[in-house]
């Protein structure tokens, strides 16, 4: 049972029982009706009546009725936490035949939930997959057994929350609401509010969760255990928000409800003890807190292995011991906590960890392993503590990879990676400490691996999936997956472009419903594809990187630890790792100051970012500047606030305006793995360039785009004029035109408007000419495109390189969306600079690219030429006007290097010139 501040069992079973009654109410006799009416107050009598119903139904050949009665009987055992007996009774209905589809659905859905409570994930998936398949082929079941299907989606959502699949949980809960939209009651409303409250609490949106918990308590007024569980959720949320002054009134009411319930309230009482322990811990009364936590553990042991209360209590006791500097005691409790969350693990030795699949709840085991590794890192006097901490983190991250393999939504994966960041950062610190203790190839490899784990893990998986051959996958399944992806992309686009102000309520509901259904269909297809995927063998990225680096190149990887910044410098024949002399707070402050000064337009003010740029240079590059002597090209993997920063604006301080740009060309990589794995090949001939400027409009079309909320970009036509090739402006630069032309081009240049969404990266878009409502190309649509043939994409639209920061994933920008579709290198804009200066930079860029230079060097030279063309201290010399364009991905040439003309071409040219000269002489003679 998942009782993280909420009691799930009660409402799941209320819905199950309501569903079983509603599904066949017309065929149920008075015995079944009476049993369903009394099963909570008189369970023994209800079981006797259900037995009579089944006997009569079998005698009369009404097997459908008998199976439904077995589900009812199983519900009685389920309500009383006898999940094993409930499973046995429910399974007895499976051999009965013939059965209506609605009855088979109820059996499968119920058994999935019962195995969920028994922590049997394989059996859970088996039965829920069958229930899901039945809904797919018989969608009418949603109408015929509406309440039961709604309960199924509620249970699926709860299981998804427990496994950390938050996007899937949200969609399941929304699906349940859609099914019950016209059949709601105050109790059902409270259920929905409770479900979403837990969901938002897990996301860390505590204010939203608090309001939903409060509403659920307001809607459910019956003074019973159900209300007690709702109150507990509100108590936990308030404690998490540290609003301890408001919890006592809820605690007192919950205590009364527990006392009133007698032995049935034991589990709620145990969780309430934990809430009281948290309360006294926040009041700094650790002795009283420890008493309540210990009491909850004792209750959990009496309740048995189906409850998480014991695990939670032991985790709290471990934390209490840690606060009192008792590391040994903390390790003892954490070992016991892992035992409580395991089927077979019983080791007391801190050197031992459970097997990867030996858990009752995966996220709980992950939390246990990370806390244990933290304790081992702190156990300075314990032999091999660093090695044990490292091994424990290995197990934790392997478990996380196992859990995340089932997540179909990128947003869930990104959110989980965000939650993993603190663990990654401490794991890097542990690996570095072990490397300092014993600097050799093994510890260096472990350190680099740990840094890489926290860098763009989701993007790395996306790119590997793009390059993976699904050997043995049936053709029909690949078609199903593609159909599901297309449907989901279309649904997301319709949702993003919904017109709330002018659409009817029914229209908005239909759009929302289609998005929910499309995401569920995509998840179903994704799960079917999983057995055909295999883990990619880990390559020696360090060796491959050093082979790829030229002598004048260096690879810099920054990794935040819990209290410092780690820098790894890789050159052709040298590696150096060091902790930089800057704290997290100092890094945030300096990076923000430099970013602000670079982003803002200084005109008519003077640029004032020099001091901060020099200070940040001294902290993040100064300690290794001597090692970078002779280096002319840098590849940088950033972390934390450095993601917002163009390193080109940092200043060495050796002379005025001595920007890093003057010393090195810079490429920003997402991770070492993505940089190393990116295909590299010499350009085969000059590329075909597709350039589009949708908002380079004349006066006749200006009004149209303004009505759509856009402004003209007057210099964008001049910008795209820099590159020879296919050019489209105004109405010719439509989304349809782009989609039809890009497969035949190798370079893309889009000078347009764009938006980077900070809430959902899939909602970010590039705007084309707004001749209709579907003129935006969204990031989720880019995922359907194959851009592996594109050599370079230039996105000079506003803020295409910015977006929300997701830890090691970096900025979820449109440039990242292009990378996810296979585009190896993207020049993108961090802010909206002057369009005239961008046009000039683009012209200079293509001049440099045409000479066959690598893209990073071409961009550097274009910027330097631009600065040189400004008079001393000119209006456009500050970084705001040139530092906004940055290169993401790789840095390979786009054009071939121009060479001497081949002999054959020279001979042909000479022959042609002689022929022309002879013809001219002939014409002159004739004219005489």
Whether 236 shows a pLDDT value over 90: the answer reads yes
**The pair of three-digit structure tokens given for residue 523, joined into one six-digit string:** 């998840």
Q: State yes or no: pLDDT of 20 exceeds 60.
A: no
Segment 803-821 mean pLDDT = 60
CB 634 within 8 A of CB 665: yes
Has residue 775 been placed in a domain?
A: yes
- For tokens 């009004």, the residue is 703
Residue 755 backbone dihedrals phi, psi, to 5 degrees: -140, 130
Rounded distance, CA 114 to CA 81, Å? Answer: 10
Is 801's pLDDT higher than 80? no
pTM above 0.85, yes or no: no
Beta strand 776-778 with 665-668 is unpaired
Residue 647 lies in a domain: yes
pLDDT at 459: 52
343 C-beta neighbours (distance < 10 Å), count? 13
What pLDDT score does 606 carry? 77
Q: What is the pLDDT of residue 599?
A: 85
Q: Do the Cβ atoms of 838 and 885 come closer than 8 Å?
A: yes
Measure the CA angle with vertex 407, ends 405 and 413; round to 5°.
95
pLDDT interval class at 16 (50, 70, 90): very low
Lowest mean pLDDT among 476-480, 513-517, 783-787: 513-517
As a whole number of Å, the CA-based R_g of the chain is 32
Q: Are residues 617 and 745 in the same domain?
A: no
How far separated are the first and last CA of the chain, in Å rounded? Answer: 108
Q: Determine, yes or no, domain membership for 657.
A: yes
Determine the Cα angle at 450 with ends 445 and 453, to 5°.
125
- Cβ(719)–Cβ(693) below 8 Å: yes
CA distance 76 to 44: 9
* Same domain? 714 vs 862: yes
Confidence of residue 756 (pLDDT cuts 50, 70, 90): confident
Question: Same structural domain for residues 705 and 774?
Answer: yes
Q: Do 111 and 118 touch, CB atoms closer than 8 A?
A: no
Rounded Cα distance, 825 and 889, in Å: 5
Q: Is 24 exposed, middle or buried (0-12, 13-18, 19+ CB in 10 A)?
A: buried
456 confidence band (pLDDT: 50, 70, 90): low
Residue 926: pLDDT above 70? no
DSSP H or E run through 753: none
* Residue 776, domain CATH: 3.40.50.1460
Q: How many DSSP H helices and E strands does the chain contain?
A: 37, 14
Name the DSSP letter for residue 875: T
3 state SS of 348: coil
Supply the pLDDT for residue 908: 58
Do residues 36 and 172 share a domain?
yes
911 and 874, same domain (yes or no)? no
In angstroms, the CA 275 to CA 233 distance is: 10
DSSP letters, 825-838, are: EEEEESS---HHHH
Choose the weakest-confidence range: 42-46, 340-344, 522-526, 879-883: 522-526
Do residue 31 and residue 157 come from a single domain?
Answer: yes
pLDDT (tens digit, 9 = 90+) per residue, 41-69? 889 999 999 999 998 898 888 999 999 99
CA-based angle 685:686:692, to the nearest 5? 145
Taking the C-alpha atoms of residue 271 and residue 258, their distance in angstroms, rounded to an integer, is 11
| Residue 755 DSSP SS3 | strand
CB atoms within 10 A of CB 590: 21
Percentage of the chain lying above the pLDDT 90 cut: 43
CA angle 167, 172, 175 (to 5 degrees): 125
Q: How many CB atoms lie within 10 A of CB 596?
A: 13
- Answer whether residue 922 shows pLDDT above 80: no
> Tens digits of per-residue pLDDT, 524-577?
787 787 777 654 444 578 888 999 999 999 999 999 888 889 999 999 999 999
pLDDT at 126: 87
d(C-alpha 359, C-alpha 363), whole Å: 9
E strand or H helix that includes residue 596 = helix 584-599
Tens digits of per-residue pLDDT, 481-506? 888 888 888 887 887 776 644 455 56
- CA-wise closest residue to 624 among 586, 572, 580, 573: 580
| Residue 752 DSSP class | S
Whether 146 and 175 map to the same domain: the answer is yes
The pLDDT value given to residue 220: 93
639 and 521 assigned to the same domain? no
638 and 594 belong to one structural domain: yes
Q: Which of 135-149, 236-250, 653-667, 862-876 has the lowest mean pLDDT?
A: 862-876
Say yes or no: 878 and 748 in one domain.
yes
Q: Which residue range is the domain that position 8 belongs to?
A: 1-183
Given a contact cutoff of 8 angstroms between Cβ atoms, the answer to whether 249 and 279 are in contact is: no
Which of 149, 183, 217 finishes a domain?
183
Give the pLDDT band (50/70/90) at residue 854: very high
Tell me what pLDDT residue 305 has: 55
Would you say 643 and 432 are in contact if contact means Cβ atoms under 8 Å apart? no
In 3D space, the residue among 532, 344, 365, 540 whose CA is nearest the CA of residue 448 turns out to be: 540
Predicted pLDDT at 22 = 38
Residue 905 CB neighbours (<10 A): 10
Q: Is residue 387 part of a domain?
A: no
Instruction: Say if residues 124 and 108 touch (Cβ distance below 8 Å).
Output: no
- In SS3 terms, 841-873 reads as HHHHHHHHHCCCCEHHHHHHHHHHHHHHCCCCC
Q: Which of 139-148, 605-614, 703-712, 761-770 has the lowest mean pLDDT?
A: 761-770
The answer to whether the CB of 712 falls within 8 A of the CB of 770 is: no
Report the chain's mean pLDDT, rounded to a whole number. 84
CB-count exposure of residue 383 (10 Å: 0-12, 13-18, 19+): exposed
Select the highest-mean-pLDDT range: 14-23, 277-286, 527-536: 277-286
Alpha-carbon distance of 235 to 206, in angstroms, equals 12
| Residue range 387-415, pLDDT digits in tens | 999 999 999 988 888 877 766 666 666 66
User: Does 798 reside within a domain?
Assistant: yes
What SS3 class is residue 440? Answer: coil
Q: What is the pLDDT of residue 464?
A: 53
- 469 backbone φψ class: left, alpha, beta (φ>0; ψ -120 to 50): beta
722 and 839 housed in the same domain? yes
User: Is the four-CA dihedral 752, 755, 761, 765 of positive or negative sign?
Assistant: negative
What is the DSSP code string of 186-211? HHHHHHHHHHHHHHHHHTT-HHHHHH
Task: Give the model confidence (pLDDT) of 358-378 as tens digits.
Answer: 888 888 899 999 999 999 999
- Distances in Å between the Cα of 632 and the Cα atoms of 319, 427, 549, 557 are 50, 32, 12, 17
Please report where in the chains the tokens 């039961």 appear, as a residue: 148
**Does residue 104 fall inside a structural domain?**
yes
The pLDDT value given to residue 924: 56
CB 400, CB 420: distance < 8 Å: yes
Q: What angle do CA 537, 425, 396 make, to 5 degrees?
A: 50
Do both 805 and 717 map to the same domain? Answer: yes
Q: Kindly tell me if the per-residue pLDDT of 604 is higher than 80.
A: no
Please, what's the b/e burial string for 626-638 (b: 16 or more CB within 10 A of its CB; e: otherwise)? eebeebbbbbbbb
Is the residue at 440 inside a domain? no
Which residue among 183, 211, 241 closes a domain?
Answer: 183
Do the domain assignments include residue 649?
yes
- pLDDT category at 136 given cuts 50, 70, 90 is confident
Domain boundary residue, one of 166, 183, 200: 183
* Alpha-carbon span 163 to 339, nearest angstrom: 19
Domain count, the chain: 5
């Amino acid at each position: 049972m998942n009782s993280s501040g909420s009691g799930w069992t009660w409402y799941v079973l209320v819905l199950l029982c309501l569903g079983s009654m509603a599904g066949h109410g017309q065929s149920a006799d008075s015995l079944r009706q009476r049993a369903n009416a009394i099963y909570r107050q008189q369970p023994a009598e209800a079981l006797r009546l259900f037995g009579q119903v089944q006997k009569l139904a079998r005698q009369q050949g009404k097997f459908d009725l008998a199976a439904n009665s077995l589900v009812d009987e199983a519900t009685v055992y389920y309500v009383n936490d006898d999940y094993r007996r409930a499973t046995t009774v429910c399974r007895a209905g499976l051999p009965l035949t013939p059965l209506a589809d609605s009855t088979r659905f109820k059996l499968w859905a119920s058994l999935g939930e019962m195995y969920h409570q028994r922590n049997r994930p394989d059996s859970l998936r088996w039965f829920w997959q069958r229930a899901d398949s039945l809904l797919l082929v018989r969608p009418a079941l949603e109408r015929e057994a509406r309440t039961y299907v709604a309960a199924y989606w509620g249970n699926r959502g709860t299981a998804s929350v427990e496994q950390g699949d938050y996007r899937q949980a949200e969609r399941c809960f929304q699906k349940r609401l859609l099914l019950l939209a016209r059949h709601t009651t105050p109790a059902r409303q409270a259920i929905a509010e409770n479900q979403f409250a837990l969901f938002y609490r897990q996301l860390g949106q505590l204010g939203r969760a608090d309001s939903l918990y409060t509403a659920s308590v307001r809607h459910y007024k019956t003074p019973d255990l159900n209300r007690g569980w709702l109150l507990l959720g509100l108590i936990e949320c308030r404690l998490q928000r540290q609003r301890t002054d408001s919890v006592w009134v809820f605690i007192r009411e919950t205590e009364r409800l527990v006392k009133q319930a007698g032995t049935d309230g034991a589990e709620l009482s145990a969780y309430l003890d934990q809430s009281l322990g948290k309360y006294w811990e926040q009041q700094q009364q650790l002795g009283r807190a420890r008493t309540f936590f210990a009491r909850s553990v004792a209750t959990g042991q009496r309740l048995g292995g189906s409850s998480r209360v014991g695990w939670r209590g032991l985790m709290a006791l471990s934390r209490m011991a840690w606060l009192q500097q008792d590391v040994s005691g903390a390790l003892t409790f954490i070992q016991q906590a892992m035992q409580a969350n395991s089927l077979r693990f019983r080791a007391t030795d801190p050197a031992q960890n459970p097997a990867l699949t030996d858990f009752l709840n995966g996220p709980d085991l992950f939390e246990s392993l990370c806390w244990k590794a933290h304790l081992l890192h702190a156990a300075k006097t314990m032999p091999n503590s660093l090695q044990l901490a490292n091994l424990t983190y290995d197990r934790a991250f392997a478990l996380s990879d196992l859990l995340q393999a089932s997540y179909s939504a990128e947003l869930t994966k990104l959110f989980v990676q965000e939650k993993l960041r603190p663990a990654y950062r401490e794991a890097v610190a542990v690996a570095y400490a072990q490397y300092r203790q014993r600097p050799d190839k093994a510890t260096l490899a472990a350190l680099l691996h740990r840094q890489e784990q926290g860098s763009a893990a989701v993007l790395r998986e996306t790119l590997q999936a793009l390059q993976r051959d699904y050997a043995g996958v049936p053709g029909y399944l690949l078609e199903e997956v593609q159909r599901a992806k297309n449907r989901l992309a279309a649904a997301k686009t319709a949702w993003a472009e919904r017109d709330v102000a002018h659409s009817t309520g029914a229209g908005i509901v239909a759009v929302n419903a289609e998005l929910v259904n499309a995401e569920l269909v995509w998840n179903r297809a994704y799960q079917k594809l999983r057995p055909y995927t295999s883990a990619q063998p880990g390559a020696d990225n360090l060796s491959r990187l050093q082979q790829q680096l030229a002598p004048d190149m260096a690879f810099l990887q920054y990794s935040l630890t819990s209290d410092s910044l780690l820098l790894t410098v890789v050159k052709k024949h040298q590696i150096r790792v060091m902790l930089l002399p800057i704290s997290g707070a100092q890094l945030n402050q300096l990076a923000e100051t430099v970013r602000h000064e670079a982003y803002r337009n200084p005109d008519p003010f003077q640029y004032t970012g020099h001091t901060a740029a020099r200070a940040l240079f001294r902290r993040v590059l100064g300690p290794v500047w001597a090692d970078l002597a002779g280096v002319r090209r840098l590849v940088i993997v950033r972390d934390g606030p450095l993601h917002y920063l163009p390193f080109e604006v940092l200043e060495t301080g050796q002379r005025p305006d001595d920007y890093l740009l003057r010393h090195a060309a810079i490429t920003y990589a997402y991770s070492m793995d993505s940089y190393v794995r990116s295909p590299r090949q010499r350009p085969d001939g000059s590329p075909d360039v597709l350039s589009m400027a949708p908002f380079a409009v004349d006066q006749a079309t200006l009004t149209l785009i303004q009505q759509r909320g856009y402004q003209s970009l007057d210099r964008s036509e001049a910008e795209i004029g820099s590159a020879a090739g296919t050019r489209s402006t105004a109405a010719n630069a439509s989304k349809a035109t782009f989609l039809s032309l890009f497969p035949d081009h190798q370079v893309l240049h889009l000078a347009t408007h764009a938006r980077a969404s900070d809430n959902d990266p899939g909602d970010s878009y590039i705007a084309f000419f707004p001749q209709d409502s579907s003129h935006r190309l969204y990031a989720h649509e880019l995922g359907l495109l194959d851009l592996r043939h594109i050599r370079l994409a230039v996105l000079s639209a506003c803020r295409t390189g910015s977006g929300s920061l997701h830890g090691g994933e970096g900025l979820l920008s449109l440039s990242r969306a292009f990378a996810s579709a296979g585009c190896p290198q993207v020049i993108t804009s961090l802010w909206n600079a002057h369009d005239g200066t961008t046009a000039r930079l683009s012209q200079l860029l293509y001049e440099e690219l045409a000479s066959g230079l690598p893209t990073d060097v071409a961009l550097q030279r274009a910027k330097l030429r631009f600065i040189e063309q400004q008079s001393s201290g000119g209006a456009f010399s500050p970084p705001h006007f040139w530092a906004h364009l940055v290169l993401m991905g790789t840095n390979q040439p786009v054009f071939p290097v121009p060479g001497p003309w081949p002999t054959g071409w020279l001979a042909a040219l000479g022959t042609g010139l002689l022929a022309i000269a002879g013809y001219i002489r002939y014409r002159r003679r004739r004219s005489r």
